[in-house]
Every structure is written in structure tokens, then in C-alpha cells.
Amino acid sequence: MNRRVLVAVGSGGVGKTTMAAALGVRARQLGRRALVLTVDPAKRLATAMGLDLSNDEVRVVRRIERDTTASLGAADFSPAGEVYAAVIDSKKTFDDFVRRYAKDKDLIERLMRNQLYRQLSTTLAGSQEFTALERLLAASEAKDYDLVILDTPPTQHALDFLSAPDRIRSLFQDSITKWFMNPTENKSWVGSLLSGELLARGTRLALRSLEALTGAKFIEELIDFFASVRSIQGQLRDRSEAVQKLLLSRDTGFVLVTSFDEAKLTEAQHLQGELRNRGYRLEVCILNRAFPEILPEALDFEKISASLGENTPLRATAQKVAAAYELRYRDHQQRFAALASFAQRLDPKVVLLRVPEYRQDLYGIEDLEALAESLPQSAKAGAQGRPAAPPRSTTEA
């Protein structure tokens, strides 16, 4: 992968964050300097990466020294590689952004006090999308890293966050915000604004309706908000445009994470289409938990039962096991059919990685390292995984 930016997208519960971390570690193993930006990592993963969830500092992810991990070959390590990780703090990113671009100190303080701003910068829905992208942009511009990986927020719809720049851009257009310009500090100009001729009739009425719904104080806060923000709206728009440019650039690749589950595969199909429609570059599709069961090549329970002889209790147990196997096998077949159909519809240029399910959850950095190590193998498995008919065995490497 030659990209400088990777964006991991996918529906909830597919292991996106773990994969983003694993990709970062893999980059490190290949001798690159990588940064993984996460929004909401589980505590265990955060610990594994050496992250302190209470702040958004960039931390070095602990690296394994050669002699403590016998399974990893010396050739896989490059001394130049480093991987860093950081948790995105929405409120802080918002505030940092304001402080950087607003020149007037009084204005900054006024904005920080404004209720609308406070809501906007702290509510989940409002802030994560904007700040995740802002952090990504800042990191890629800083050129401190060869690769920046963004683990996207678990929004209701996996690609919601991508439209955040557009929404912000449309809100902070001059044609809209100029109506809220406050030439003087006099609060009563709110009244003159709403009853005078400054606004088009439609806008005036709309605002009065809003006022009836929300009360005069809210309108004041709203107007105050726009007046304060007006001075940084240029930068807001510029940043939003820069983000969009970055996402569409040749340097940026998308990684779609999904899992071996019919519902998730359907969602992934949908996501793939949306990415294509918006012109984003889908590089890799990671199929997580691809081998949920170890299903033996052929289980001849008749033979087993027969060979158990007259030992009835064991035969009874063998029957139960046979029944369990039968159910799982049928389920597996169905899922393989869904997978085959998904793989067929996947753009042939997209690399499909199939990552097996581990019996236990990831415990620490060793597991992440091992997972990262296995990714090239997963690519081979993925390439094989586009057959016309689903294979019966799942015990391939």
C-alpha cells in the first residue's frame, strides 16, 4: 500500500478499530512511521496500544523487541518503523480549532460561552464527524508521518461523517451569515433585525417561527453564535474544502471492514456502492472473523458411531456432536454463499483480506502484532476466496 492516508469505514461491531490498529502495526513492521487516530476504542485495545483514554495525546505504541517474540522473523522488523496512536477528543479539537483561527480573544471567549457552540462542540452527533476529519487533515499536513490511519466514528450510517464538511460549508456561507452580522454590541438590534427590512421576508418569517418555537433567548444565542463564528467562517470553509480534497486525492485509500455475517455483508455492499458514488478510492476490504468455526473436512459420524462399538453413552454423545456439526455446516454454507456473492460484486482491483476469528479477544500488543503479521497471508486467502463455489473446508492457512 502506497497511500499516505487510510480511512477505515464499516458498520458497527465488525472490529474496525482493531483492524485500524493492526494496519498501523503492520505499517510499522514494514518500516514506516504511522499514526492511528481512533475515536472510541475499547479499553482493552486502548491499553494494548498504550493509550490514555482521558486525553488525546499522541502516544507511541509499545513495540516488541526481537528477542521476546520468537515467532516473528528478524526480517520482518525494520528499526525505522514506528507506530503512534491517539484518541480524538472532540471538544478539545473544536476548541483548539477556534483558538487557532479566531484572532480576537474576546470573540473566542464569547464563542466558548455561547450555548449553541457548547452544545455543538460536545454532543456526539455534532462534533465527532467534524473533529475526526479535522484531526486527519492536521496530521496529514504536518508530514510527521508516512501514513495516517483514521478509524471512523461509529455513526448510524457509516458514511455520515463524510458529509460533515459539506454541511458545515453550506451553513457558513457568506450569503447566510451576513444576516447575523452585529455591527454594534447592542442586543436590541435583534428586534430591529427581525422586524426591519434587513432580511428577506421569508427569512424573517422563518426566524419568527423559530422564535415562537424556541423563545427569544435562543434566537439571541443563535445570532450571537453566527456573529462570533463569522470571523472564522472563511477558515471553516477552507478546512472543509481541504478535507474533501484530501479524501478524494490519490494519496488516500479507503479500507472497508466487514465480517462474515449476512447482514454485515449486505451493509458492506451498500457502503461499497456509496463510496464509489462519491468517488472515493476503495483499496482494501477486510473480512473479519472469516473463519468462525473450525469445520473438519469431512465428518463421517456413521463411521465414528460404528467404531465406538456397543459403548452406548459415547454413541449418544457422538450423535449430539453430529447434530451440532450438521447445523453449523448448513449455517456455514449459507454464509459462504453470501460471501461468494459479495466477493463477486467487489471491484476486482480491491484487495480482499480474510482474517480468521481468534478464539479469544485480543489481549495485548503481542496479539496485534501477530494479527498485523498475518495480513499478507489473509490477502492470499482473500484472493483464493473468490471461487464460483464455496469450499467445504475452512482450515486453509
Partner 1 sequence: MSNQVKSLEKNLGMNVGANPAQAADLGGATGPSFSGRAADFLGAHQPQDFLDRPYVLVSGKGGVGKSFVAAALAALQVDLGRSPLLVETGDRSYFQELMGLTEVHQQPQRTPLGFDLVCWSGEGCLREYVLHLLKLEKIYRMFFENRVMRALVNVAPGLNEIAILGKLTSGLRRVGPRMAHQRMVVDMPATGHALAMLRAPLGLLEAVQVGPMASNSRDVHALLREPRATAMVVVTLLEELPVTETLEFVAAVKREFAMPIFIVANRTQAAPAPQPELRSLIASESLNEDVREFIRGMMARDQSEAHARQALHEGLRQLGLEPETCVAEIPRYWAAPPLDMIRRAKEELRKSLMTSS
Using CB under 8 A as the binding rule, the residues of this chain from 203 to 262 that contact partner 1 are 203, 205-219, 221-222, 259, 261
Cα distances (angstroms) measured from residue 362 to each of 32, 64, 101, 153? 23, 16, 41, 21
How many chain residues are in contact with partner 1, going by CB under 8 A?
Answer: 87
Nearer residue to partner 1 within complex by CB, 73 or 215: 215
Asked if residues 278 and 244 have their Cβ atoms less than 8 Å apart, the reply is no
Cα 188 to Cα 169: distance, rounded to the nearest angstrom: 29
Which part of the chain contacts partner 1 (CB under 8 A), choosing from 101-109, 141-149, 168-176, 231-239? 168-176
Query: From the CB of 249, what's the least distance to partner 1, in Å?
Result: 26
Residue among 241, 347, 361, 396 that touches partner 1 (CB under 8 A)? 361
Residue among 30, 138, 308, 370 that touches partner 1 (CB under 8 A)? 308
Query: From the CB of 225, what's the least distance to partner 1, in Å?
Result: 10
Query: From the CB of 294, what's the least distance to partner 1, in Å?
Result: 5
**What backbone torsions phi and psi does residue 286 show, to the nearest 5 degrees?**
-105, 120
Residue among 68, 71, 312, 360 that touches partner 1 (CB under 8 A)? 360
| Closest to 158 (Cα-Cα) out of 56, 269, 243 | 269
Nearer residue to partner 1 within complex by CB, 122 or 384: 122
275 binds partner 1 (CB under 8 A): no
Nearer residue to partner 1 within complex by CB, 142 or 306: 306
| Closest to 29 (Cα-Cα) out of 368, 394, 338, 388 | 368
273 binds partner 1 (CB under 8 A): no
Determine which helix (DSSP H) or strand (DSSP E) holds 157, and give its type and residue range: none
297 binds partner 1 (CB under 8 A): yes
178 binds partner 1 (CB under 8 A): no
Residue among 331, 380, 387, 392 that touches partner 1 (CB under 8 A)? 331
Residue among 60, 327, 337, 383 that touches partner 1 (CB under 8 A)? 327
Cα 128 to Cα 293: distance, rounded to the nearest angstrom: 36
Cα 177 to Cα 306: distance, rounded to the nearest angstrom: 83
Site string for partner 1, 113-132 (x = CB under 8 A): --xx-xxx--xxxxx-----
Which part of the chain contacts partner 1 (CB under 8 A), choosing from 81-89, 101-109, 357-365, 373-381? 357-365
Which residues lie below 8 Å from residue 138, measured CB to CB, with a gap of 6+? none
Q: Which residues sit opposite 256 in a β-bridge? A: 9, 285
Residue among 181, 248, 321, 337 that touches partner 1 (CB under 8 A)? 321
Which part of the chain contacts partner 1 (CB under 8 A), choosing from 30-38, 91-99, 186-194, 344-352? 186-194
Residue among 7, 11, 223, 371 that touches partner 1 (CB under 8 A)? 11
Query: Cell digits for 345?
Result: 460484486
Nearer residue to partner 1 within complex by CB, 101 or 218: 218
| Closest to 12 (Cα-Cα) out of 161, 162, 128, 152 | 152
Cα 243 to Cα 139: distance, rounded to the nearest angstrom: 11
Residue among 296, 376, 387, 391 that touches partner 1 (CB under 8 A)? 296
- The label of the residue with cell 470553509 reads 237
- Residues numbered 32 to 71 that lie near partner 1 (CB under 8 A) are 40, 42-44
Which part of the chain contacts partner 1 (CB under 8 A), choosing from 82-90, 92-100, 301-309, 372-380? 301-309
> What 3-state class would DSSP assign to 305?
helix
Asked if residues 27 and 39 have their Cβ atoms less than 8 Å apart, the reply is no
Report DSSP state, residue 228. H
295 binds partner 1 (CB under 8 A): yes
Nearer residue to partner 1 within complex by CB, 18 or 140: 18
Query: From the CB of 180, what's the least distance to partner 1, in Å?
Result: 9
| Closest to 99 (Cα-Cα) out of 109, 88, 89, 90 | 109
252-259/33-38 β-pairing: unpaired
> Which strand ranges, in their side-by-side order, compose the sheet holding 147-151?
59-60, 82-87, 33-38, 147-151, 5-9, 252-259, 282-288, 351-354
Give the dihedral of Cα atoms 304, 309, 313, 317; nearest 10 deg. Answer: 0
- The label of the residue with cell 478510492 reads 281
Residue among 318, 340, 370, 379 that touches partner 1 (CB under 8 A)? 318
Query: From the CB of 99, what's the least distance to partner 1, in Å?
Result: 20
- Residues numbered 127 to 166 that lie near partner 1 (CB under 8 A) are 127, 154-157
